[in-house]
Structure 1
Amino acid sequence: SFEHMPSGIDTMTVFVHQSEFEEKEQKVLQGIQRCVHPDYIDLESDLALIAVVGRGMRSTRGTAGRIFSALAHANINVKMIDQGSSELNIIIGVRNEDFETAIKAIYDIFVTIQL
């Protein structure tokens, strides 16, 4: 099973639980290579996903800017960004070790500081 699968014009990313994937890693990678013939496969581990969700996001200018400014000020590197066409959420990937700091930074910018 997978958690999230954002895609772009020429890329596709698949997020899976590391514990479920470790035993099957080589078999899955070989299957992808055989069936799809990608230019390259990049495997990255220890990422956490954060979903920022709200009905008001669609009609409020600067929401994404506030999120990413808060993360930058907290010295957190964003590894992945995905926003669906509904504009009701933004999903962000950060290193596992940055997860709690990222949650606090996002919470603070919207709830504590309310900029």
Structure 2
Amino acid sequence: ATEIAGIAGRKDFSMICLEKSLMNREVGFAHRLLGIFREHGVSFEQCPSSIDSISVIVEDAQLQGVDELILDEIKRQLEPDHLFLERNLALIAVVGEGMVRTVGIAAKIFNALKEAGINVRIINQGASEMNIIIGVAAVDYEKAVRALYAAFVIDSRTGSAGG
């Protein structure tokens, strides 16, 4: 059995990232943030977070004409310490049931990208462990997919080092 079932991705994403000290202690913070997107008819693709930061990743097309309105509303309602919009991102999913409880999958992903000289901007893995989503600069998208394909697909077929 192979470790992964596939690698897929798309370009044309943007990320709105906000940082706020002790955000994790504010009940309903993420709900209020996502409510701002809902009010402007924008659905999100991913929403990675940590103790003091949360990012909302959306398709570029959904932000057209409302990006400044959303940023202004976030500033007004949530009063973040830092807020920025990053454009020109690509998301890549590495998926497969073989990833569940398999030690080293994430290390293999990040090592392949490191060897290819690609900076990872976003990391997101759900509790199911059946996929890892990574975000890279859109200009690195094809190179990243090739590096991941070499690391996993070539490895499983030939036993060679790959990537």
Shift >6 Å, 4+ stretches? none
AA paired with 2:45?
Answer: E
> Percent identity between the aligned chains?
48
Q: Who is 1:38 aligned against?
A: 80
State yes or no: 1:13 paired with 2:25: no
Q: Who is 1:74 aligned against?
A: 116
AA paired with 2:110?
Answer: F
Q: What stretches of structure 1 of length at least 5 have no aligned partner?
A: none
- Once the two structures are TM-superposed, the CA of residue 69 in structure 1 deviates from its matched residue by 0.6
- Once the two structures are TM-superposed, the CA of residue 20 in structure 1 deviates from its matched residue by 2.5
User: Could you say what secondary structure the match of 1:76 adopts?
Assistant: coil
Which structure shows the higher strand fraction? 2
Distance 1:59 1:96 in 2: 30
Q: Who is 1:105 aligned against?
A: 147
Distance 1:78 1:29 in 2: 24
User: Could you say what secondary structure the match of 1:86 adopts?
Assistant: coil
- Structure number with the bigger relative contact order (C-alpha 8 A, sep ≥ 6) is 2
Q: Who is 1:90 aligned against?
A: 132
**TM-score calculated relative to the size of structure 2:** 0.67
> C-alpha offsets along residues 34-65 of structure 1, whole Å, 9 cap, x if unaligned?
11111110210000011111111122111111
Distance 2:92 2:70 in 1: 25
- Once the two structures are TM-superposed, the CA of residue 83 in structure 1 deviates from its matched residue by 1.1
State yes or no: 1:52 paired with 2:70: no
AA paired with 2:108?
Answer: R
Distance 2:53 2:105 in 1: 25
User: Could you say what secondary structure the match of 1:94 adopts?
Assistant: strand
Q: What stretches of structure 2 of length at least 5 have no aligned partner?
A: 1-42
The alignment covers a number of residue pairs equal to 115
**TM-score calculated relative to the size of structure 1:** 0.92
Distance 2:52 2:128 in 1: 22
Larger radius of gyration: 2
- Once the two structures are TM-superposed, the CA of residue 19 in structure 1 deviates from its matched residue by 2.7
State the superposition RMSD in angstroms: 1.2
Which structure shows the higher helix fraction? 1
- Once the two structures are TM-superposed, the CA of residue 89 in structure 1 deviates from its matched residue by 1.1
